Chain A
């Protein structure tokens, strides 16, 4: 699952970015709020899951993003 998330992030922000668990989606990867929503839509599509929007609010780091996704992989 983390590999798929990483793939989405690399495709979205660029493979040249050093993406780690601590990476901040805005401050380190250069995204804006719309990018974060876009990333969630892409992850949902790639993994065939659905994440309630309320759970995605205020997600700012890769680790927080992975945690949210992890909770829904397999449960959907």
Chain B
């Protein structure tokens, strides 16, 4: 009888050891899976952080571009105002200039001026779209050297007098 009890107790002991070993192995396996998952999550978080940082940089770039565009628009509006005034310019005697009459009296001269102005207007669009200024444009300080169509953006060093 005592021998049977010992045998049962021995099997119970073995079962407990076996169960404990299985449980530990199971925990180890789970731990490995959790560790792998954790690494994946950390990787995903890093990726997300990189994406967020890139988006922040993009927003900053867009804000800068928008600011630059707004500044250019303001300058172009000022130039448009000046261009409109040119057609209605009043001389020192108070006489208003009439481009139409000038074009009738001197058609070739007006056509020549308009041809030059047309080229200047095309250059204005290039500058507004980001084309860098040339040395000649940067160094223009006299009225005869400037782009009359968009002086504010084409000739930053020109001071009207």
Interface residues of A (CB under 8 A from B): 10-15, 24, 26-27, 30, 32-35, 37-38, 40-41, 53-54, 56-57, 60
Contacts and interface: CB of A to CB of B under 8 A. Distances in A.
B80 to A, nearest CB: 16
Chain B interface, >50% SS class: helix
Interface of B: 86, 89, 91-93, 97, 99, 102, 105-110, 112-113, 116, 142-144, 148, 161
B143 A26 contact: yes
B92 A37 contact: no
Contact of B102 (A10, A37, A54, A56): A37
Contacts of B99: 34
A53 B93 CA distance: 25
Given A24-B142, A34-B99, A35-B89, 4 more contacts: A24-B144, A27-B142, A37-B109, A54-B108
Nearest to B142: A27
A34 B108 CA distance: 12
Contacts of A57: 109, 112
